[in-house]
């Protein structure tokens, strides 16, 4: 019998987490092998490794505790990868040499797959004097473009990359340009962006007072605080960015405020970190801990929860000692403070099993109670570890207990910390869990409401035919198993039908007992008024949240999932008013790579790049699948030996993507978006930003000529607005991992419902 609750769970395991040899041969034969591999690796630092290996295995078994993806994929593989999910890099010096030193560090960190955060407030504003060179500064946005290009390069090299977070203070002179940067669809696509909002700024907003934009000791200009706030709100309303981080509140509540200052977060915002700070993540699967689900005696087993939390904290503490780090500074920072981020997933499913409507006062109170229980258990487990292994090196009892978070902690926990110390400076965080939630049987993600109760996923076979499978939420499937054809009760709500302020209520309830922060998306309807939208952010501020991220579907941000308006529901399905239906419905995923026949039909094209002695020749061969031509392989050649390495690499990479199958037109988007900092060239009446962009244009024209796509893209970095011939998949932005059009905003990250890829790594 398989341990997987749904076919998609096993597919996610096989694609993302199953340990395989270089030739693709599985080393993890079963998911039990994966759990054993993780347990053995994290137990190696214990005095009794076998004892703790078995206890760690028991925690992992049946998906009760879910380490973050990098731990699940990397632990015990002997690969030189970091098991940490997120990093904030060093403070960027306001000098050219210092800036590019930081760029190198970012590249090394991203090469190992870590998501990184940077505060760009330390770079002087555009137009400021640059002493000694008689020039004006180009400003932080120009250097963010360089970081963006670096991230694209790392990604194009085939590495699993992390996302990037850029922050800027609300008093930086370039903050208005920062706010509107994402209005250009061709810019800063590798970044999530958030404005660091201070307490004085919020006071000025409420008072409609003036606000100085400063750098160093100079006031560059003065604006009205409310006008600046409205600019942030308008950009977020239109483009879903920037997010808002209440940075003074974060620093005031930080357990380590006595020895660090935070100015940035990881890409999803749940980990505010100091310079070179690193954090690892893991989640307790609450949906697995409910006894008598949907019954009169339904409850969460708190004794089992406490035991599971204690084991999880020990496992995560061991990761600090087992993991590789991209930089020595990150290793030193992690060892000095030993911060971890234990959170939850399956919260919404667990609430449903208890008969509670997500967003109700009762659900918020239950959420607060569960998160307090987890916080208590985490802190007491870390105290026990301190007794056994010692407190974190920078522990200072008086200063630690005087921090904002610890002031609210129960007296018995405070006294235990005072007497014995604590092993981990910070312990709790609510992380994005989109992929690991699918892996655990499609439980609800993090503290989010259920996104969709069911949708149809279509799998494209090699012969062009398609098979269908239903992807059902874990709690909904349990309801069906227990209740048969009985309709879902009216307390079943999803992210699309929930009022925005109900989202805020749940985030605030969870935040009270989370010592780091929370990754959460507040879904807003497309027709929400601007004033109502702004009130969501003000309510987040007033209710004690550390930040706020919203998502309003529109023509710019896109929209995948909507609420069905049909009145016909089959027995056992949700009523029409709560049934989440993916209108795209046609989630297409290639089950295995395409085979190469003996002969293929193709065309060869020539590019003569200005100032280059030799032309580049591009041969594209096509395969017929389901009666339609599709690109299968590419060969790029040039007599210019300076081009040899990258043309061979590009040939192999693009061909590998084409042979995977599915809709691969996103390759055109990625190539056309590459710019050469030395400048592009005019060819046939249009500006081409790089040789790679020219190759992308050739591939696009070939796809149009063969009927794979119907027309040219509508602009740099946007997918061609056409349908794939032979498929009814909708357009919009394609997943950069599998090429399918099933991207949705989950916990602040664009996430693919087909393959589980997340922009946030």
Phi, psi of 688 (to 5 degrees): -110, 120
Does the pLDDT of residue 417 top 60, yes or no? yes
Query: What per-residue confidence (pLDDT) applies to 463?
Result: 54
Cα gap 732→62, rounded to integer Å: 36
- Cβ–Cβ under 8 Å, residues 740 and 140: no
CA-based radius of gyration for the chain: 26
Query: What per-residue confidence (pLDDT) applies to 413?
Result: 97
Does the pLDDT of residue 260 top 60, yes or no? yes
Q: Residues 6 or more apart from 732 whose CB is under 8 A from it?
A: 558, 560, 719, 741, 743
Higher pLDDT, 463 or 109: 109
In sequence order, the β-bridge partners of residue 247 are none
The residues assigned a catalytic role are 266, 268, 270
pLDDT per residue over 609-645, tens digit each? 876 777 899 999 988 876 778 888 999 988 887 778 8
Does the pLDDT of residue 411 top 70, yes or no? yes
Q: Can you list the alpha helix ranges (DSSP code H) found in 263-360? A: 302-322, 328-337, 347-353
- Cβ–Cβ under 8 Å, residues 297 and 291: yes
Q: Can you list the alpha helix ranges (DSSP code H) found in 575-710? A: 644-660, 666-672, 691-705
Cα gap 515→194, rounded to integer Å: 20
Does the pLDDT of residue 712 top 80, yes or no? no
3-state secondary structure 718-745: CCCCCCCCCCCCCCCCCCCCCCCCCEEE
Taking each helix axis from N to C end, the angle separating 411-420 and 361-389, rounded to the nearest 10 degrees, works out to 20
Do the bridges between strand 550-551 and strand 522-523 make them parallel or antiparallel, or are there none, so unpaired?
Answer: parallel
Cα gap 31→72, rounded to integer Å: 11
Q: Residues 6 or more apart from 357 whose CB is under 8 A from it?
A: 351, 363, 490, 491, 493
SS3 content of the chain, % helix, strand, coil (to 5): 40, 20, 40
Mean pLDDT of the residues in the chain: 85
Q: Can you list the alpha helix ranges (DSSP code H) found in 139-188? A: 140-156, 175-180
Structural domain 81-85+266-586+742-752, CATH architecture = Alpha-Beta Barrel (3.20)
Q: How far is CA 219 from the centre of its chain?
A: 36
- Cβ–Cβ under 8 Å, residues 563 and 573: no
- Cβ–Cβ under 8 Å, residues 184 and 135: no
What's this model's pTM, rounded to 2 decimal places? 0.78
Mean pLDDT of 362-370: 98
Mean pLDDT of 668-694: 79
Least confident of 112-116, 342-346, 405-409: 112-116
Cα gap 442→3, rounded to integer Å: 13
Give the DSSP letter of residue 15. I
Does the pLDDT of residue 560 top 90, yes or no? no
pLDDT per residue over 59-112, tens digit each? 999 999 999 988 999 999 988 778 887 899 999 999 999 999 999 998 888 877
Residue 26 CB coordination number (10 Å):
12
Domain ranges of the chain: 81-85+266-586+742-752, 93-253, 601-727
Cα–Cα distances in Å, from 268 out to 333, 633, 713? 21, 36, 30
Cα gap 450→754, rounded to integer Å: 16
Contacts 24+ apart (CB under 8 A), 230-237: 230/534, 231/176, 231/179, 231/180, 232/179, 232/195, 233/530, 233/533, 233/534, 233/537, 234/530, 235/179, 235/180, 235/182, 235/183, 236/533, 236/550, 237/530, 237/533, 237/552
Does the pLDDT of residue 404 top 90, yes or no? no
Peptide bond preceding 310: is omega within 30 degrees of 0, i.e. cis? no
Cα gap 212→221, rounded to integer Å: 6
Query: What per-residue confidence (pLDDT) applies to 727?
Result: 32
Mean pLDDT of 472-476: 94
Cα–Cα nearest to 87, from 393, 317, 422, 329: 329
Does the pLDDT of residue 574 top 70, yes or no? no
Cα–Cα distances in Å, from 279 out to 265, 427, 530? 11, 10, 36
Does the pLDDT of residue 583 top 70, yes or no? no
Burial of 328 (0-12, 13-18, 19+ CB in 10 A): exposed
**Count of residues for the chain?**
761
- Specify which of 178-192, 270-284, 660-674 reaches the highest per-range mean pLDDT: 270-284
């Amino acid at each position: 019998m398989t341990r997987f609750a749904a076919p998609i769970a096993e597919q996610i395991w096989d694609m993302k987490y199953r340990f395989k040899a270089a030739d693709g041969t599985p080393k993890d034969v079963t998911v039990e092998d994966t759990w054993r591999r993780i347990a053995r690796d994290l137990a190696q630092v214990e005095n009794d490794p076998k004892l703790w290996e078995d206890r760690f295995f028991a925690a992992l078994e049946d998906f009760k505790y879910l380490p973050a993806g990098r731990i699940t994929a990397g632990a015990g593989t002997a690969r030189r990868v970091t098991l940490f999910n997120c990093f904030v890099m060093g403070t960027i010096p306001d000098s050219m040499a210092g800036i590019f030193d930081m760029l190198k560090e970012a590249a090394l960190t991203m090469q190992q797959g870590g998501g990184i955060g940077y505060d760009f407030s330390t770079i002087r504003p555009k137009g400021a004097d640059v002493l000694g060179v008689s020039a004006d500064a180009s400003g932080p946005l120009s250097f963010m473009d360089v970081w963006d290009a670096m991230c694209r390069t790392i990604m194009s090299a085939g590495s699993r990359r992390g996302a990037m977070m850029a922050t800027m203070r609300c008093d930086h002179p370039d903050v208005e340009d920062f706010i509107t940067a994402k209005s250009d669809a061709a810019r800063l696509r590798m970044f999530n962006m958030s404005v660091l909002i201070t307490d004085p700024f919020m006071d000025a907003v409420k008072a409609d007072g003036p606000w100085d934009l400063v750098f160093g000791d100079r006031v560059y200009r003065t604006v009205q605080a409310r006008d600046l706030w409205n600019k942030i709100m308008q950009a977020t309303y239109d483009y879903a960015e920037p997010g808002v981080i209440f940075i003074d509140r974060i620093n005031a509540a930080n357990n380590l405020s006595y020895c660090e200052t935070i100015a940035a977060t990881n890409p999803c915002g749940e980990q505010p970190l100091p310079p070179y700070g690193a954090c690892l993540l893991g989640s307790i699967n609450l949906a697995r801990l409910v006894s008598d689900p949907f019954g009169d005696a339904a409850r969460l087993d708190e004794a089992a929860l406490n035991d599971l939390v204690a084991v999880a904290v020990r496992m995560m503490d061991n990761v600090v000692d087992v993991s590789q780090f991209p930089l020595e500074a990150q290793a030193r920072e992690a060892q000095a403070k030993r911060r971890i981020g234990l959170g939850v997933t399956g919260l919404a499913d667990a609430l449903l099993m208890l008969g509670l409507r997500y967003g109700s006062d009762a659900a918020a109170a239950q959420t607060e109670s569960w998160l307090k229980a987890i916080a208590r258990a985490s802190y007491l487990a870390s105290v026990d570890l301190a007794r056994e292994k010692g407190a974190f090196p920078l522990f200072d009892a008086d200063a630690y207990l005087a921090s904002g978070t610890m002031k609210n902690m129960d007296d018995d926990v405070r006294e235990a910390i005072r007497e014995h110390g604590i092993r981990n400076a910070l312990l709790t965080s609510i992380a994005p869990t989109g992929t690991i939630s699918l892996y655990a049987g499609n439980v609800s993600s993090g503290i989010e409401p259920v996104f969709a109760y069911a949708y149809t996923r279509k799998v494209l076979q090699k012969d062009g035919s398609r098979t269908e499978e239903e992807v059902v939420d874990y709690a909904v499937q349990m309801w069906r198993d227990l209740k048969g054809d009985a309709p879902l009760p009216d307390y079943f709500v999803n992210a699309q039908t929930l009022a925005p302020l109900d989202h805020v209520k749940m985030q605030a309830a969870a935040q009270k007992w989370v010592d780091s922060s929370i990754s959460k998306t507040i879904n807003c309807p497309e027709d929400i008024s601007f004033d109502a939208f702004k009130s969501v952010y003000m309510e987040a501020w007033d209710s004690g949240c550390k930040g706020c991220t919203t998502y309003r579907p529109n023509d710019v941000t896109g929209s995948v999932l909507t609420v069905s308006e049909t009145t016909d529901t089959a027995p056992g399905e949700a009523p029409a008013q709560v049934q989440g239906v993916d209108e795209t419905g046609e989630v297409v995923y290639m089950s295995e790579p395409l085979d190469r026949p003996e002969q293929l039909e193709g065309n060869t094209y020539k590019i003569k790049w200005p100032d280059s002695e030799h032309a580049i020749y591009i041969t594209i061969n096509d395969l017929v699948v389901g009666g339609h031509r599709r690109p299968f392989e590419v060969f790029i050649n040039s007599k210019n030996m300076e081009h040899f390495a990258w043309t061979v690499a590009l040939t192999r990479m693009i061909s590998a993507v084409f042979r995977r199958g599915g809709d691969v037109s996103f390759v055109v988007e990625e190539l056309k978006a590459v710019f050469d900092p030395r400048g592009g060239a005019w060819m046939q009446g249009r500006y081409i930003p790089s040789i790679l962009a020219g190759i992308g244009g050739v591939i696009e024209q070939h796809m149009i000529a063969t009927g794979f796509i119907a027309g040219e893209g509508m602009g740099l970095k946007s997918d061609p607005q056409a349908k794939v011939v032979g498929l009814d998949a909708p357009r919009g932005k394609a997943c950069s991992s599998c090429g399918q059009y099933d991207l949705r905003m989950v916990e602040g990250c664009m996430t693919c419902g087909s393959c589980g890829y997340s922009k946030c790594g």
